[in-house]
Structure 1
Amino acid sequence: MPMSRWIVLLVALVALAAAGLFSWRMPVSATAYEVKEGALTQQVVASGRVVASSRAQIGSEIVGRVTERLVREGQQVEPGDILVVLDSTELAERVQETRAALRQLESARRPQAEAGLADARAHFEQARREHERARRLLESNMVSRQAVEQAEEREAAARAALERSRLDVEALAPGGAEEALLRARLAAAEAALERAVIHSPVTGTVLTRNVEPGDVVQPGRVLLEIARTGQRELRVPFDERHLGQLAVGQRARCVTDAYPDQPFDATISLIAPIIDAARGTVDVRLVMEQEPWFLREDMTVSVNVETARLERALTVPNDAIFGVEGASARVHGVEAGRVSPRSVTLGLRGLLHSEITAGLTAGEIVLTDPGLSPGQRIRPHLTDHPEQGEPASSREPFSFIR
């Protein structure tokens, strides 16, 4: 390679080194925060829904075809209101047939049985007398033994007929087996006829309807769902990782997607004793001290539960904290205009701020750029701490810590 090229290359290397040295010695502007003392709260944030404390699922107790559906979603109902009507033609015919059978029992079959009993009793008395007379005549040798035997057989047959008639009268008597059977059938037929008209068992609001005229329904199918009138509650699935931070009685600040400018308060009333293994969540119920007028069933609600609070803590925004491992972390401080790495100990942690329990003091400066080199000259650009109340996005599907 000619000497001139070596000289050019050497000059270029020297220039690059000089530029690097110049850039190293020149201070770099970087965003910074001042370590401050103040109140620090920790919140667990999740989304859930507004639900009624109790819901009634309405179905049919019999198989039938729907002829009328008299309510729709959002309609208010009272106990006894008619909701759905089923075709009752066959049921009504069954009731009429059973009533006719009862009338026939009272007006025809029972009198006939009583008359038959009287006739059987008369035949038996006559057969008994004839048998007795035949036995006396046999003693005088005026009739044959065969005639006596025939008279005895007629008496036995008459006695059997009398017993059958007596049993028939007992069965058909008032309160007897036949009447009891017919009245049981009538009660069952009338009950089935009543079930053809489905009534509301509660006071509430119709939430869903899954039936239309012409549908064939059967027991076990939910036709309507009614939210009972009364206090609503919030049901919120929290990530199971936050279970240890939640407790009954904790207060929460709530806001709906539909009315974000009208927040309201609620209190945790129940934490489910089991975990939803499929979603990795625990269901939490919250009750409202004063229910807002705008709440609707199944409305989406964001819930911020305050799980911890410090009135006085040394705080640093989380974007100035690096290399977190448990309670240990690192920050980039500033000392004599240069980057000064520090090891710190963390206390209470939130989404925006963390408590520093060791490694920093109030008034010190920390930098937000993790790519700065130790000893590098720096020109801090101080900015305000993010506000605690500012909303923060989360990549977690159910709940996160603020």
Structure 2
Amino acid sequence: MNNEPAKRWIMIAGAAVAAVLVIILLLLVLRQPALPESIAFGNGRLEAIEYDIATKHAGKLEHVLVDEGDMVTAGQTLAIMEITELESLLHEAEANLDRAKESKKQAKALVSQRNSERNLASKDFSRSQKLFQADVISKQDMDSQTTRLQSATAALQAAQAMVAESDAAMAAARANIERVQTTIDDSFLKTPVNGRVLYKLAEPGEVLGAGSKALTVLDLNDTYMTIFLPTAQAGKTAIGSEARIVLDALPEQPLPATVSFVSPEAQFTPKEVETKTEREKLMFRIKVRLDTASSQYKDIPLKAGLPGMAYVKLDNDEQWPESLQIQMNK
């Protein structure tokens, strides 16, 4: 007899819990947008390419110019490695180039001088040769003129070799400048894409090895959600159709999107479908791409893996329900 009140309270509590659950379920149902048949939907997760901004050469990280969440544009410098030593090497290479240029100037001047000497020796040799043939000068004098011409020719060739050597030194100096400059350029870590900084993986002052990651950037130019629609809806879905993506983290903020891919083949079903029931199980993969050029994304921390729902218009004349209309940013 004493257990009757306790049982009664347990029954009342159970009924109350059941009533609360029913109310919650009703509220969840009522919160779902009233969608016409010409709007299909499916659940999925955001997908995007993440780019690791890494060092090409070992060194100390001197500056990080962005923070997590910052929007960046392709080619923007995100971090800078220390380049003091590289700048010294660059100055040294430039000085070597200047010396090689000066050496070439001197070598060319010497070539001009040696060429004049050789021309004079050649003329004297020609005159001496005629005089020798006329027995005016001795063979000893003729041999002296021959030796003089040969010496002048050798001196000219040596001067010309100095010009070629200076050219080689200039080429080596330029190659060294280009190599050092390339290393300096590589010390400015830039993003290859427009996107958002997801992670800052290193801080100024850290010594990083070659290939070490400094930041990660999410490519916002190709952020999409993959959903699956049955045959009847997939057959009416066209590439370029207007769409909306609603993330679980931002249920009150639908994001503009576009259908960018419709699979030509069904998935999750046998290859040979014999019955109508099996045909109804056909699901087609649909890719819904965010229109990331829209100002709606300015303050939204998009990340790959965020769950949500994608809604697709099967009829372009259909109007979006109020819950899926885009609220213009002010």
CA distance 1:143–1:290, change in 2 (3 Å) = closer
The counterpart of 2:228, out of the listed 226, 238, 257, is 238
| Alignment partners' CA distance in 1, 2:249 and 2:134 | 114
Identical counterparts, % of pairs: 18
Match status 1:136 vs 2:131: yes
| Alignment partners' CA distance in 1, 2:289 and 2:73 | 27
| Alignment partners' CA distance in 1, 2:254 and 2:235 | 25
Which one-letter code corresponds to 2:209 in the other structure? V
- The normalised TM-score by structure 2 is 0.56
Gaps spanning 5+ residues in structure 1: where?
Answer: 1-38, 309-402
The counterpart of 2:307, out of the listed 269, 276, 300, is 300
| Alignment partners' CA distance in 2, 1:273 and 1:65 | 47
Count of equivalent residues = 260
Deviations for 1:179-213, whole angstroms, at most 9, x for unmatched residues? 46644543443243233222456665212445563
CA distance 1:123–1:113, change in 2 (3 Å) = same
Aligned residues of 1:65 and 1:215 also touching (Cα < 8 A)? yes
For structure 1, which segment, 162-171 or 276-285, has the greater mean C-alpha deviation from structure 2 after superposition?
276-285
Superposition map of 1:143-182 within 5 A = 143-144=138-139, 148-149=142-143, 151-166=145-160, 168-169=162-163, 179=170, 182=173
| Alignment partners' CA distance in 2, 1:104 and 1:133 | 43
Aligned residues of 1:253 and 1:263 also touching (Cα < 8 A)? no
CA distance 1:165–1:75, change in 2 (3 Å) = same
Partner of residue 48, structure 1: 44
Question: How far did 1:228 drift?
Answer: 6.5
Pick the structure with greater CA Rg: 1
Superposition map of 1:10-159 within 5 A = 41=37, 44-50=40-46, 58-59=53-54, 62-68=56-62, 70=64, 71-77=66-72, 82-88=77-83, 91-115=86-110, 117-119=112-114, 121-122=116-117, 125-126=120-121, 129=124, 132-133=127-128, 136-137=131-132, 139-140=134-135, 143-144=138-139, 148-149=142-143, 151-159=145-153
CA distance 1:307–1:77, change in 2 (3 Å) = closer
Query: RMSD over aligned Cα, in angstroms?
Result: 4.7
Question: How far did 1:216 drift?
Answer: 2.0
Superposition map of 1:238-317 within 5 A = 238=228, 243-244=234-235, 246-248=237-239, 254-260=245-251, 262=252, 264=254, 266=256, 268-272=258-262, 282-287=285-290, 291=296, 296-298=302-304, 299-305=306-312
Partner of residue 383, structure 1: none
| Alignment partners' CA distance in 2, 1:91 and 1:276 | 57
Aligned residues of 1:246 and 1:307 also touching (Cα < 8 A)? yes
Whose strand fraction is larger, Structure 1's or Structure 2's? Answer: 1
Whose helix fraction is larger, Structure 1's or Structure 2's? Answer: 2
Gaps spanning 5+ residues in structure 2: where?
Answer: 1-34, 270-282, 316-330
SS of aligned partner of 2:68: coil
CA distance 1:151–1:178, change in 2 (3 Å) = same
Deviations for 1:285-319, whole angstroms, at most 9, x for unmatched residues? 145688486563333212344659xxxxxxxxxxx
Partner of residue 319, structure 1: none
Which one-letter code corresponds to 2:155 in the other structure? A
Aligned residues of 1:248 and 1:270 also touching (Cα < 8 A)? yes
